[in-house]
Structures are given as structure tokens and as C-alpha cells.
Amino acid sequence: MKQVFIAGGSGRVATELIRYLVASGYAVVAGARHPERVVQLTGVSAVKMDLHDGVDQLAQLMHGSLAVYFTAGSRGKDLLQTDAMGAVKTMQAAETAGIKRYVMLSSMYALQPAKWSQYPALANITDYNIAKFFADRYLIDNTQLDYTIIQPATLTEKPATGKVTLGEGDDTTNPIPDVARVLADVLPLKPAYGQVIMMRSGQTPIGQALKQL
């Protein structure tokens, strides 16, 4: 069975992502500071992961995986060591472990600082977007990974719609399950390699939208 590793495996997005991946036939190793909080499903292994650890330690956790997801977030409590440098270390660890595929959960317009002040939802998380800016830029500029960066709008707890709009546009919202579905569905898509994909709520079925990449 194909195995993937998720950094930040106990979070809200990761929980839904794990469900989609398992349903698609993947085995999941979920790294989390509190592994007991990882959703318990057949095919899911929870391991203790601390993003303050060194690259070699993180690489050992990833061994045997074909891809790495980064969905971790400190919710503003540890932006430098978790959201910025923690992300960078997982990229370095993936390369150390010989893993090529890497999928990053980022933030809408994280790579366009001039946009942040234009939308209140982004202005309110400026420090987070700064951390994501540097993590995303490192991934693009300083790795040889087959990356995809997913930049959703504001996450909500609403039910899945299964529909989305990709690309730039007015900042709106995304139900968490829809973000997780996009993260899961881009994994095998070679047209998604090397892409930064912005997403927000819309009217196009997710599968159809991704076919247009």
C-alpha cells in the first residue's frame, strides 16, 4: 500500500485529509506533537513529531513514504519554529529521505504581500502570512521537490460542498473538507507539480477544476 506522511497530522485539515487519503487507498503516517489526537482509522499510524527537532529525526519518521504533506500550524503561538522553520525542516527531511513529492498547505496570497492589506481576513493574520511567505519561497527556490502549494481562503467549519474556484479572486472562504479534498486529489496529478494553487468557494466540482490545471 502506498504510504504518505502528514506533518501536523492531528489538525482540523489533516483529519479530513486523512479520511480522503485512506478512502483513496493510501496508508498514512501522521506526525503530531500529540499523536493521541490523530483520527483513529485502519491504515493510519500516529507518530510523535516535534518540529523543533532536527532534520535527521524528521527524516526518520518519513522513511518509506512516497510523499509528504505539511498541514501543521501553531495558530500564532510558534510561528517561527513551526510555521516557518518547521516547514523548511520537513522539506529538508523529505529530500534527506529521498522523497520527491511534497504538498504544502499555505494561505491565500501568501506569496503576494501587497495583497494582505486589501482583505481584512488577511490583514488579521499578517504574521502568519509572513511565516508562510518564507516557507513557500524556500520550497520554490531552495528545493528540488515536486511540490504543490495549496493556498486556500479563510477556513470555515461548514460542511463540504465539493465545489471550488481556483485562481486569484476576492478573498472569501473555504470549508475545511473542501480544502482537504483538494490536498488529497492533487497528490497524483503531475500537472500540479510546481504549481501554486489558490482556492476559494465556488461552483465548479473539485475534480473538474483540477483537470483544468
80-93 pLDDT tens trace: 999 999 999 999 99
Strand 27-32 relative to strand 44-48: parallel, antiparallel, unpaired? Answer: parallel
pLDDT at position 170, please? 83
Q: Would residue 117 be called left, alpha or beta, if left means φ above 0 and alpha means ψ between -120 and 50 degrees? A: alpha
Nearest-angstrom CA–CA distance, 212 and 191: 9
Query: Cell 460542498 sits at which residue?
Result: 161
pLDDT at position 169, please? 86
pLDDT at position 1, please? 79
| pLDDT-flagged residues of the chain (< 50) | none
Nearest-angstrom CA–CA distance, 158 and 140: 31
Q: Would residue 21 be called left, alpha or beta, if left means φ above 0 and alpha means ψ between -120 and 50 degrees? A: alpha
| Residue in 131, 123, 126, 127 with CA at minimum distance from that of residue 105 | 131
Strand 101-105 relative to strand 67-70: parallel, antiparallel, unpaired? Answer: parallel
Nearest-angstrom CA–CA distance, 47 and 195: 29
Q: Are 153 and 129 in contact (CB under 8 A)?
A: no
pLDDT at position 100, please? 98
| Residue in 151, 193, 192 with CA at minimum distance from that of residue 174 | 151
Q: Are 182 and 206 in contact (CB under 8 A)?
A: yes
pLDDT at position 28, please? 98
Q: Are 27 and 87 in contact (CB under 8 A)?
A: no
Nearest-angstrom CA–CA distance, 129 and 116: 8
Paired strand residues for 23? none
100-118 pLDDT tens trace: 999 999 999 999 999 999 9
pLDDT at position 85, please? 97
Q: Are 138 and 91 in contact (CB under 8 A)?
A: yes
**Number of C-beta neighbours around residue 6 at 10 A:** 32
pTM over 0.95? The answer is: yes
